[in-house]
Amino acid sequence: MKKIAILGSTGSIGTQTLSVVREQKDIQVVALTAGSNIGLLEAQMREFRPALVCVAEEKAAEELKVRTADLQVKVVSGMEGLTEAAVWPESEILVTAVVGMIGLRPTIAAIEAGKTIALANKETLVTAGHIIMPLAEKKNVPVLPVDSEHSAIFQSLQGAAGNPVHRILLTASGGPFRGWKKEDLGNVQVEDALKHPNWAMGKKITVDSSTMVNKGLEVMEARWLFGVDPSQIQVVVHPQSVIHSAVEFEDGAVIAQLGTPDMRLPIQYALYYPQRRRLSGKRLNLCVPGSLTFEEPDMETFPGLALAYRALEQGGSMPTVYNAANERAVALFLDRKIRYPEITELIEACMDQAGVIPEPGVEEILAAEREVYEYIQRKAFR
């Protein structure tokens, strides 16, 4: 029995991880965490019987304790609790499926404790890749990608036999507004941005996909996971989402991973790596999409991607500024406090006013995040 802990078990990745666990039957879930959805968390506790659970607020933890008094389980809360779940002694693999920079401290603590990381929480790597990857190497801890593109790259590298990567071809669906022009985006409503053509995901990443900020974050994620220079990462818009990404080698050979858009595959691959297991669900029939198409990303209409390359080039704390500005801007957009184009405008404004701290430590990363939040607070509610 493999033993796993899941941070963010009530979300899109978290519930799909549990569906893999349910199907495979030889994984034991030892710790689960949620933000505030204690209804779903309680159901998961009753089904999977973890030894530890955590929720964000203490009050919700108290309520959950009462509701699950018949179970043998420790219920904790807050960042301390999230970290306790991340380092829970029994677990071997930590699935990081929380959304946002909140995953930073627990992920670092888990690596320190020697846990294998199945990483979905890209924001953590975007802000602290320079801390996480060397630490994982030092501790001899694998960081296995769950993000579908990065899993595809990782799978494509399995036959590399030590040959270096020449280029990464990072595919993007282009989102619901592919082909639109800048002036069309002014009236985009929350409901429009939450309609992704190919994937069903959490709200934040769905909005990120529509602005192409998700692809920007993924360029940064790929930079750290695969140790390549940003200039070696080419984003290719591929609306059918059949090719999940590819690697080009020195001789020009391109190796790709293809499949239906189903996150359970990369989740399962990370949980069982290097083993492949049977997975239920639809199989790829190449004759169904009929044709696969590719185009250059439109960085003028979607400046979020160009800003990501700029943040990477400036380096240090700038990816944190990019990420934190986006996290707050998306939350404001979902609350209908700002208009859609203001998401990337706010990211740019935050980057323009921020200084770069080279090689920031965890405290400096969190301070840079706070500064961005304060700046947006002042700017967005003038």
What is the binding site for ligand NDP (CB under 6 A)? 8-14, 34-37, 56, 97-99, 102, 120-123, 147, 199, 201-205, 263
Cα within 13 Å of Cα(311), Cβ side: 33
Q: From the CB of 123, what's the least distance to ligand NDP, in Å?
A: 5
For ligand NDP, the closer of residues 32 and 346 by Cβ is 32
Contact partner at residue 174 from ligand NDP, Mg ion, none, CB < 5 to 8 Å by partner kind: none
Does the footprint of Mg ion cover residue 123 (CB under 5 A)?
no
For Mg ion, the closer of residues 91 and 323 by Cβ is 323
What is the DSSP secondary-structure string of 4-50? Answer: EEEETTTSHHHHHHHHHHHHH--EEEEEEE-SS-HHHHHHHHHHH--
Q: Identify which of 349, 352, 356 has the alpha carbon closest to the alpha carbon of residue 378.
A: 349
Which residue has the CB atom at the shortest distance from ligand NDP? 11
Which residue has the CB atom at the shortest distance from Mg ion? 147
**Cα separations in angstroms, 216 against 83, 212, 343:** 28, 6, 14
For Mg ion, the closer of residues 149 and 369 by Cβ is 149
Q: From the CB of 209, what's the least distance to Mg ion, in Å?
A: 8
Strand partners for 3: 28
**Binding-residue total with Mg ion (CB under 5 A):** 3
Task: Pull the structure tokens for residue 259.
Answer: 């499949």
Does the footprint of Mg ion cover residue 298 (CB under 5 A)?
no
Q: From the CB of 66, what's the least distance to Mg ion, in Å?
A: 38
Contact partner at residue 81 from Mg ion, ligand NDP, none, CB < 5 to 8 Å by partner kind: none
Does the footprint of Mg ion cover residue 147 (CB under 5 A)?
yes
How many residues belong to the chain?
382
For ligand NDP, the closer of residues 200 and 253 by Cβ is 200
For ligand NDP, the closer of residues 57 and 374 by Cβ is 57
Q: From the CB of 236, what's the least distance to ligand NDP, in Å?
A: 18
Contact partner at residue 121 from Mg ion, ligand NDP, none, CB < 5 to 8 Å by partner kind: ligand NDP
Contact partner at residue 97 from Mg ion, ligand NDP, none, CB < 5 to 8 Å by partner kind: ligand NDP
Contact at 8 Å (CB) between 305 and 215?
Answer: yes
For Mg ion, the closer of residues 147 and 298 by Cβ is 147
Contact partner at residue 215 from Mg ion, ligand NDP, none, CB < 5 to 8 Å by partner kind: none
Contact partner at residue 36 from ligand NDP, Mg ion, none, CB < 5 to 8 Å by partner kind: ligand NDP
Q: Would you tell me the crossing angle of helices 264-272 and 12-24 to the nearest 10 degrees?
A: 60
Task: Pull the structure tokens for residue 349.
Answer: 């404004």
Count CB-CB contacts under 10 A for residue 63: 15
Question: What gap in Å lies between CA 308 and CA 230, rounded to an integer?
Answer: 10
Contact partner at residue 10 from Mg ion, ligand NDP, none, CB < 5 to 8 Å by partner kind: ligand NDP
Contact at 8 Å (CB) between 112 and 135?
Answer: yes
Q: From the CB of 205, what's the least distance to Mg ion, in Å?
A: 8
Contact partner at residue 37 from ligand NDP, Mg ion, none, CB < 5 to 8 Å by partner kind: ligand NDP
Helices and strands (DSSP H and E) totals, the chain: 15, 11
Task: Pull the structure tokens for residue 363.
Answer: 């405290």
116: which DSSP letter?
E
Helices (H), 171-263: 190-193, 203-211, 213-226
For Mg ion, the closer of residues 81 and 216 by Cβ is 216
Computed over its alpha carbons, how large is the radius of gyration of the chain?
Answer: 20
**Cα separations in angstroms, 220 against 298, 303, 305:** 18, 16, 11
For ligand NDP, the closer of residues 115 and 122 by Cβ is 122
For ligand NDP, the closer of residues 56 and 165 by Cβ is 56
Binding site for Mg ion (CB under 5 A): 147-149
